[in-house]
Chains A and B, each alone.
Chain A
Amino acid sequence: MSGMRSITLGHYLPGNSILHRLDPRAKLMGLLILIAALFLIKTFSGFFYFGLFFVLTFVSSRLPWRYFMRGLKPVLYIVFFTLILHFLFTKGGQVFWRFGPLTIEENGVFLGSFMTLRLILLVITTLLVTLTTSPIAFADGIEFLLRPLRVFRVPGHEIAMMMTIALRFIPTLMEESDKIRKAQMARGADFESGNIFRRARNLVPLLVPLFVSAFRRADDLAVAMESRCYRGGDNRTKMRQQQVTCLDYLGVFTTCGIAAAIVLTGV
């Protein structure tokens, strides 16, 4: 827990590759296009071309692959689970293996590997974007992309503001939780022994004060924001103007083209 301060959200790795320098809005749009393409692809060869494109982008981003793999780890359980479920419960076609009531059949293997591949590609593509975009730029990008959805009352500005405030207060609250933990330990609280349920219950004396203080902070912050003329996203300007360059247009169009090509070969 002492290493908590070193945790950064999204594990952004600063760098200077093309992917790093792209405007977050362009990157998010590219990502959306690629995700759409992933769901349109119907064959393994489509995935192969997609994978090829991913590898090229990954290499150009100069991200260390070990670091990249670490970000992938938590998702692997879900991926593995999907694979097992499909293998066991999707029926049809030739039976490969039989053990009592359990069978593994052709369709299950096909669909299982297909879904797994899609999921993995989805995660690594997203990871590529989050690892090369600073969280703040990300929030700005999301605000921009959600702007057209204002017609449907999607609060784009508010979502971005929430992300910014969360980013701002995560270190503060971590520091605070550390402080509370020590204070409770000094009063005899035990956070380290017992089984998982016991430990979870022992966290109550940590969580209650943390929540109380977080609410108090939220209240203070709201008053401070209001007193600095904050009144939502209307008529608001931004100091940091993101400059859309040729590179950004080029990036979005190339991604569009490649995605279209992949989809066409892979349908």
Chain B
Amino acid sequence: MSNSIIETVQLCYEYTLGGEKTLRALDNVSLQITEGEYVCLIGPNGSGKSTLARHLNALLLPAAGDVYVDGLLTGEEKHRWEIRRRVGLVFQNPDNQIVATTVEEDVAFGLENMGIDPPVIRRRVKEALELVGMSTLAQHAPHLLSGGQKQRVAIAGIIAMRPRCLVLDEPTAMLDPRGRREVLATISMLNRQEKVTVVHITHFMEETLEADRIIVMDRGKIACSGTPAEIFSGELDLESLGMDMPAIPALARALREGGLPVPPNTLDVDQLVDYLC
């Protein structure tokens, strides 16, 4: 408990579909995320990933069970804003989360909401923009930026608030390959260099290989969790959950099935090359 930054205890959530009908989006989800960890959350559409993400900073409140952020209970009204400062959420559509008409104003938005002194805001905005590599475009209008740049601005807006944990809900889904690379590099730099805890929800299996831990969700439950090597070792039937294996582990598995004993923790090209040559 002491070093877990986020903890959910038997978290349940239901959406009302109108009338009597409800849809159980989260079903007894219990998980702990340790400070400084890089966790990837994967799973098919409708498996409850985004619903879970929105519970992590009190945008949604549990129907049953509890969510703790840094020991604070999200259900308690008085903790709400402190929780939202400590856990920042980045959303899928880069356009729909930028509020202001210039990059630096947008990064300042969260800090302004927190009522921080203007000179401090200015300094933190500058730092955040430098961190994501967007300082040169500080005065730009957001609609003139590329998707990857917009998403980095959104990340800077969160980082400026100095959160303990960064939750990203499919941040690369709407980006081109280049934008995706930029955003991924930013995320892993923040995790490594700035020691920010990262919860990264994604559909792209290749993006999960750098994670410390992968959590697979299915129909509102945690189907399994483990290191990338464990998840992609081939013992788990990801295809039945509607997901693909990343290319290299898939190849390794095919080779294994063909009789070549490739070790199950082969995740990237270098490791495969090392083994084969």
Taking Cβ atoms with an 8 Å cutoff, the residues of A that contact B are 135-136, 164-165, 167-168, 171-172, 175, 216-217, 220-221, 223-231, 235-241
Contact = CB atoms under 8 A, between A and B. Distances in A.
B118 interface: yes
Q: What bracket does the count of chain B residues touching chain A fall in?
A: 35 or more
Q: Which of A165, A217, A236, A237 has the most CB of B within 10 A?
A: A237
Interface of B: 54, 57, 59, 81, 84-85, 88-89, 91, 93, 95-102, 104-105, 108-118, 121-122, 125, 141-143, 157-158, 161
A241 B122 CA distance: 11
Given A227-B57, A231-B113, A171 B141 contact: yes
The DSSP consensus for interface residues of chain B is: helix
A227 B143 contact: no
A237 B158 contact: no
A172 B105 CA distance: 17
Given A221-B97, A228-B84, A229-B81, A236 B59 contact: no
Contacts of A175: 143
A168 B99 contact: yes
A229 B143 contact: no
B112 A238 contact: yes
Contacts of B110: 228-230
A239 B142 CA distance: 18
B272 to A, nearest CB: 40
A228 B161 CA distance: 9
A239 B119 CA distance: 7
A15 B217 CA distance: 56
A172 B99 CA distance: 12
A41 B115 CA distance: 45
Contact of B112 (A168, A224, A239): A239
Given A216-B96, A230-B110, A236-B115, 5 more contacts: A217-B93, A227-B57, A227-B88, A229-B84, A237-B121
B143 A224 contact: no
A174 B116 CA distance: 34
Contact of B100 (A168, A229, A231): A168
9 contacts: A164-B99, A175-B143, A221-B96, A224-B96, A235-B115, A237-B115, A239-B104, A239-B108, A240-B118
Contact of B122 (A221, A227, A230, A239): A239
B101 A167 contact: yes
Contacts of B161: 228-229
B143 A171 contact: yes
Contacts of A236: 112-113, 115
B105 A223 contact: no
B99 A237 contact: no
Q: Which of A172, A227, A238 has the most CB of B within 10 A?
A: A227
Given A168-B99, A229-B110, A231-B81, A223 B59 contact: yes
